[in-house]
Structure 1
Amino acid sequence: MDRKLALVTGASAGIGAAFARIFASHGYDVALTARRSDRLERLAEDIRLRHGVETLVLPADLARPEAPGEILAGLEAHGRAVDALVNNAGYSPGGFTETAWEEQQAALQVMLVSVCELTHRVLPRMVEERFGRIVNVASLAGLLPGAAGNTLYAATKSFLIRFSQSLHLENQAHGVHVSALCPGFTYSEFHDVSGARERVTAATPEWLWQGADEVAAVGYEAVEAGRALAVPGAPNKAIAAAVRLMPEEWTLSLVANQGGRFRKL
């Protein structure tokens, strides 16, 4: 098979689906994984018809520790290996003490452990082939302290940023590009899943929102260019720059005030 293959997690909607379409538009075959097989099948058919590439559907729940190995075994059974990896699956598990530990543990498995395992499993071949693209979808929240109710989410995204930067430094000489994508407010199902859509929409000005296609395009351009960190959108870039310059206590106060606005709505 001459075409390279991109594996996208959390591909059933939003940023993940947008990444799948972008890689396909650049000539990659795509492997799609998420929990909802019906949505994956529809997306796979649309991509095949639009771009004429091969699409593989591998339904899996990354909260299961066995899932990363099963996904890669499924690709191997089709005679394929990963040339580009987009670790996009993620969600907010809610307040740290307001939900059962099992829910927090599942979130860590999805957003941290599975990311590391998939990356660890595919990276050696990328280094050997002297070509690889890895995008870890982090968040602007990873550059800030976590607001109340988002403790674990912000912490995992902060990890993804540093993890990506370190991998970038380790592997750039081998033709492997690693980027952390840090979107802000994005039109997707993220806030619907957490039940915060109405509150977040009411508290956030429209000019801060971006579309999933726009965000994914920034991520694709960054990893192709070999940039370790990508923050899409001028407002988000300004926030990221301000956070670097502000004293830590100011940042904590700002996050606390914003979190209070969300809770009052």
Structure 2
Amino acid sequence: MGEGRRTILITGASAGIGAALARVCAGRGYDLILTARREGPLQSLAEELSAAYGVAIAVIPADLADPDAPVRLVEAITVRGLAVDGLINNAGFSRTTGFLTTDPADHAAMVRVMLSAPVELSRLLLPGMAARGWGRVLNVASLAGQMPATGGDTLYGPIKSFLIKASQGLWLEMQGTGVHVTALCPGYTYTEFHDVNGSREQVSAAYPKWMWMDADRVARIGWDAVEANRPRVTPGVMNNVLAALGGMLPNTMALKMVGGHARRLDRL
């Protein structure tokens, strides 16, 4: 990679917030390691950013639903002689149709990609960051992690809540090491996420346009927060209001609030 430049590993970098974060980091002079399942989009993004910003970019496809993927990914990085100075755990998806009607294999893949893989990659890469006295870990969680869980997509919110808590614990543990840790908690964001799980039409109708944010703005807010060593950041005024309400309302009332939203989506 470029002499004197730091290198950021981004998971789920082929589209959406991951690709937006790659653009933000490349624009600020960081070299990149991009990973996702789809090699083609990664290569296209790498060529675009290398030409635009003159940074070095390595593409290493990986499917983090494979339990062995985190170790193999780090091994592939090491073989290339690269050191990871920053980690963005962004890979994620939701393909649930209700807890009882979703294939257990899809549930297992969600847990591996969004919970196990960030933990494993952090454990594999943080020692090197701490030893070098500089590091950045940005865990892309969700506003859903600050709200009561919703029926139907039963695991998504709890997984993101775990990611927020784990980020806060790491933030405390990394104090004084030069390693910054932040949980990024976006609300509804214009990405491929809702196209992949088939909910684009429903969620677009359920919430007005002013509640949505674009991925580039979310990415800038997230990276600014990890540079400033903030333990958590929730982009958007309305998203912060919703997060506060979710934390202050009595449990039964909060559950009715999110339950009403879920029923509205079902009716659309």
Short-chain TM bin: over 0.9
- The one of 74, 89, 92 equivalent to 1:90 is 92
Deviation readout 1:129-168 (Å, 9 max, x if unpaired): 1111000000000011221221111110000000000000
Kindly tell me the number of residue pairs found equivalent between the two proteins: 265
SS at match of 1:2: coil
Residue 104 of structure 2 aligns with an amino acid whose one-letter code is: W
SS at match of 1:92: coil
- The one of 207, 210, 213 equivalent to 1:207 is 210
- Pair 1:255 & 2:258 matched: yes
The answer for the alignment partner of 2:16 in structure 1 is 14
- Pair 1:194 & 2:197 matched: yes
Residue 173 of structure 1 aligns with an amino acid whose one-letter code is: G
In the alignment, is the contact (CA less than 8 A) between 1:93 and 1:152 conserved in 2?
A: no
The answer for the alignment partner of 2:231 in structure 1 is 228
- The one of 244, 249, 257 equivalent to 1:246 is 249
Which runs of 5 or more residues in structure 1 are unaligned?
none
Q: TM-score, normalised by structure 2?
A: 0.97
1-structure distance, mates of 2:182, 2:253 = 28
- Pair 1:130 & 2:130 matched: no
- The one of 68, 71, 76 equivalent to 1:69 is 71
Post-superposition shift, 1:93?
3.1
1-structure distance, mates of 2:67, 2:176 = 31
The answer for the alignment partner of 2:118 in structure 1 is 115
The RMSD of aligned alpha carbons is 0.8
Greater mean deviation of Cα atoms: 236-245 or 249-258: 236-245
Residue 262 of structure 2 aligns with an amino acid whose one-letter code is: G
In the alignment, is the contact (CA less than 8 A) between 1:15 and 1:216 conserved in 2?
A: yes
In the alignment, is the contact (CA less than 8 A) between 2:143 and 2:239 conserved in 1?
A: yes
SS at match of 2:238: helix
The answer for the alignment partner of 2:34 in structure 1 is 32
Residue 37 of structure 1 aligns with an amino acid whose one-letter code is: E
Post-superposition shift, 1:241?
1.7
Deviation readout 1:198-252 (Å, 9 max, x if unpaired): 1111111111100000001111011000100000011111111222221111110
- Pair 1:184 & 2:196 matched: no
SS at match of 2:155: helix
- The one of 153, 167, 187 equivalent to 1:150 is 153
2-structure distance, mates of 1:244, 1:47 = 40
Deviation readout 1:147-192 (Å, 9 max, x if unpaired): 1221111110000000000000000211111000000000000001
2-structure distance, mates of 1:19, 1:104 = 26
2-structure distance, mates of 1:8, 1:220 = 12
Post-superposition shift, 1:89?
0.3
Which runs of structure 2 are paired with 1:53-68 in the superposition (5 Å)?
Answer: 53-68=55-70
SS at match of 1:173: coil
Q: TM-score, normalised by structure 1?
A: 0.98
- The one of 147, 160, 163 equivalent to 2:163 is 160
Residue 136 of structure 2 aligns with an amino acid whose one-letter code is: R
1-structure distance, mates of 2:152, 2:218 = 24
Deviation readout 1:114-142 (Å, 9 max, x if unpaired): 11000000000111111110000000000
Greater mean deviation of Cα atoms: 75-84 or 241-250: 241-250
Deviation readout 1:61-104 (Å, 9 max, x if unpaired): 10001111121112112211110100000011302211121110
Paired-residue identity, %: 49
Post-superposition shift, 1:106?
1.0
1-structure distance, mates of 2:246, 2:150 = 15
